[in-house]
Amino acid sequence: MSNQFSDRSLVIKLIFLVIGAIFVIRLSFLQVFTDKYRIKGDDQALRNITQYPPRGLIYDRNGKLLVYNEAVYDLMVIPRMCKGMDTVYFCEMLGIDREEFDQKLNKARKYSPYAASPFMKQISKEEYARWQSKLWKFPGFYISQRTLRIYDRPIAAHVLGYVGEVNEKDIENNPYYKRGDYIGKSGLELSYEELLRGTKGKKVMQVDVHNREIGSYQNGAFDSVPIEGLNLYTTIDAELQQYAEELMANKRGCVIAIEPSTGEVLTLVSAPCYDPNLLVGRARGSNYNKLSEDIAKPLFNRAIQAQYPPGSIFKIAQAMTALQLGVISPGTGFPCDKSKIGCHNHPSASCVQEAIKMSCNPYFYYTYRRIIQQEKYKNIYKDSQYGLTVWNNYMHRFGFGERLGLDIPNVRRGNIPDTAYYNHWYGKERWAFSTIYSNSIGQGEVEVVPLQMANLACIVANRGYYYTPHLLRYYGPDSAVVDSFMVKHETGIEKQYFEIAARGMYDVVHAPGGTAHRAKIDDIAVCGKTGTAENKGIDHSVFVCFAPKDDPKIAVAVYVENSGAGGVFAAPIASLVIEKYLRREVKRVDMEKQYREMAPCQSLPLKYRPAKKSKRR
C-alpha cells in the first residue's frame, strides 16, 4: 500500500514540476525572447511624439523674405485607445459629421490600430485654441505641432514650388519619411528638400489613464532634438519678379532674366501665374484640381518646359557657327532673294552685322547651306550628313538640345535634329540641305526652351561663354555655394565674332532699319534680336536682349504666345524689365501701362500697331 501511495505522490510532484517548468519557460520567453507585451504596455503608458523641425526659410537675392513658416497642428489618433468617448460631442467640437469621423478613424485603423496617425491635419492655432482644453476627454487623441509654409508675396510660384504630404513612393524611396510627413513637391522646395527639411526629433511622454501627458519618460533619456533646416538665399530679385509677372498678366508666355557674368537667374516668370499660397493648407487639394483643370495651364512652367520654334533669334547662333567654320566672313553679303525663302522688304545685307540687324531670311538660308554643304564629299547626302553633324555639335555648345542644369525639376532640352533623326524620318541618304533648310531661320524641326533663349543672350553678352543658369545663390549660415554653378562653359567660337553679333543686336534696337525700336531705352545701350515663330494660329512673339552693350548686367528672353511679330509684343516687355532692373524705376509710364493692360488677342492701339505684318523678324 505504501508503495502505491508513494507512486501517486511521485506523479503529483511530477505534475507540479512540469507545470512550474511551463510557467518558468513561458515567463522567460515573455521577458527575454519577446517584447510583444512590453510594447503593448508602452503603447498604453508612453507616447512617441515626432518633433518636426522648422523648415528652412527662403529669401531673394537682396535678403527679402519669400517663404516662412507658421505654426499649425495635426490632430493625431491611436485607434485602439478610442474607447468610451462621446462621439457626437467630439464631432460637434471639430465641426465634422459622424460619417466623416468614421471614415477618418477607419483610415487610421487600416494604417495601424496601435500606431499614431493623422486624424485631421493642419489645424490653425485659432481653431485649436477653441477646444484644446477639452481634448483630454477623448482617449486616443492628441496634438502634434508642425509648421506650414507661407509665401510672403503672391509671386514666383513656379520657382519656389510647394510642399505636400509624402506618398507611398516617397516613403519607398527614402526611409527617412513616414506617413504624415511633408516633402517638397516642386520647384526649389523639391530640389533642395534635404537642405530645407532639417532633421526630425523625438519626444517620449508618459500618459495617464485619461490620455493626459504627465511628464517626460525617464527624464528625456530617449528624446532627441530636431535640427532646423537651412535657409536658402536665391538669385531671384523679388521686385523684378513681381514687376515681370504684372507685365505678363492676361498673357501666355514667359520672361527669363539672367545676370550674364554669373548665370544667376534674376526673374523666371511663366504666364499665366498663380498665387503659391493656393497650394498651402487643407484647401491645397481642391485648389490644385482647379489649377490643373484650367485651360490656360497655370501649373505648366513655360519657361523651362515649353518647347517652341525659336524663330529669328536662332540666326545669331547660325552666324557665329558659320564664322567660326570659315564658311563665311564678317564681310560676306548675300542677296535678299525671296524666291529661296520668304522675307520682309529691306535692302540686301552686305555683311553679317547688317544681316542680324535686318533679320534677312535669305541671308541665313545661304549661310546655313554653307554650313550643311561644305563640299567635303562629292555625294550630296554624305556631305549634308557631315555638315549637319558639325552644326549639331556647335548648337549643343550654345546649350541648345541640353537641359542646362537649372536647379529646379522638369527642365526640358528642346530638339536639335541630328543625322539619326533625319535618317529615321527620311531614310539614310534620302535627305540633304534642301530637305532641312527651314532650320536656318529657327523653324523646321528645331525647338528650344525659353531658358535656352535667355542663355543665348548671355553668351553674346559674355562674348562666347555662359555659366549654368541657377536659382540658388548660397545657403546656410556659412553662405555655402554649389561649385558646379561656377564652371564656365565655352562655345569654342572666337570672341571677335561675338563682337559682330553684339553690334548687330545693338543696331536691331538703335539703328535705322532695325526691327526692335520699341525696345529702345534712353541712355541705355540695349542689344536685342526679334523673332516671330510661325504657329498654326497667330504667330508667337520672341525677343532676346542684354544691356548695357559693353558692360552687360542683365540678359532677357521674352516669349508671348499668339501675339505676332517679336518687335511688337516681346521687345517692349523685355525693355521694360531691363529698365526696371537697371534704374529700379520705369520712366516710360505710358508704355508700361499699355503693356500691363494688353492681352495678346486684343487689337493694338494705333501707335503700337506695326505698319505692316512682318514675318520671322
pTM of the model: 0.85
Q: Check if the beta carbon of residue 353 is closer than 8 Å to that of residue 331.
A: no
The answer on pLDDT for 387 being more than 80 is yes
How confident is residue 7, by pLDDT bands cut at 50, 70 and 90?
low
Kindly state the cell numbers that stand for 44: 498604453
Other Cβ atoms less than 10 A from the Cβ of 210: the count is 10
User: Which residues touch 584 (CB under 8 Å, ≥6 apart)?
Assistant: 239
The answer on pLDDT for 367 being more than 50 is yes
What are the residue ranges of helices labelled H in 29-175? 36-45, 87-94, 98-111, 125-131, 157-160, 168-173
The answer on pLDDT for 36 being more than 70 is no
pLDDT tens across 401-427, in order?
999 999 999 999 999 999 999 999 999
What are the residue ranges of helices labelled H in 208-255? 238-247
> Strand 141-151 vs strand 58-59: parallel, antiparallel, or unpaired?
unpaired
- The shares of helix, strand and coil residues in the chain, as percent rounded to the nearest 5, are 45, 20, 40
Rounded to the nearest integer, the mean pLDDT of the chain is 88
Domains of the chain: 46-234 (3.90.1310.10), 238-567+575-597 (3.40.710.10)
Who has greater pLDDT, 1 or 20? 20
Rg (alpha carbons) of the chain, rounded to whole number: 34
pLDDT tens across 541-586, in order?
899 999 999 999 999 999 999 877 778 889 999 999 999 999 999 9
User: Which residues touch 333 (CB under 8 Å, ≥6 apart)?
Assistant: 348, 349, 350, 351, 354
Integer angstrom CA distances of residue 15 from 4, 11, 22, 24, 446: 17, 6, 11, 14, 92
Q: Distance between alpha carbon 142 and the CA centroid of its chain, in Å?
A: 37
> Strand 465-467 vs strand 527-533: parallel, antiparallel, or unpaired?
unpaired
Integer angstrom CA distances of residue 328 from 323, 377, 393, 465: 5, 19, 18, 22
DSSP track, 533-558: E--SSSPEEEEEEEESSSS--EEEEE
The answer on pLDDT for 34 being more than 60 is no
Cα(313)–Cα(319) distance, rounded to whole angstroms?
Answer: 11
Q: Check if the beta carbon of residue 275 is closer than 8 Å to that of residue 249.
A: no
Query: Region 106-112: what's the mean pLDDT?
Result: 87
Looking at 369-436, which runs of residues are DSSP E strands?
none
Share of the chain above pLDDT 70, in %: 90
Q: Distance between alpha carbon 603 and the CA centroid of its chain, in Å?
A: 33
Query: Region 151-161: what's the mean pLDDT?
Result: 95
The answer on pLDDT for 435 being more than 90 is yes
The answer on pLDDT for 607 being more than 60 is no
The segment with the largest mean pLDDT, out of 74-78, 523-527, 533-537, is 523-527
Who has greater pLDDT, 385 or 26? 385
What is the predicted pLDDT for the residue at 537?
A: 72
pLDDT tens across 458-473, in order?
999 999 999 999 999 9
What is the predicted pLDDT for the residue at 29?
A: 62
Query: Counting Cβ atoms within 10 Å, is residue 450 exposed (0-12), middle (13-18) or buried (19+)?
Result: buried
User: Which residues touch 336 (CB under 8 Å, ≥6 apart)?
Assistant: 343, 346, 347, 348, 349, 360, 361, 362, 363
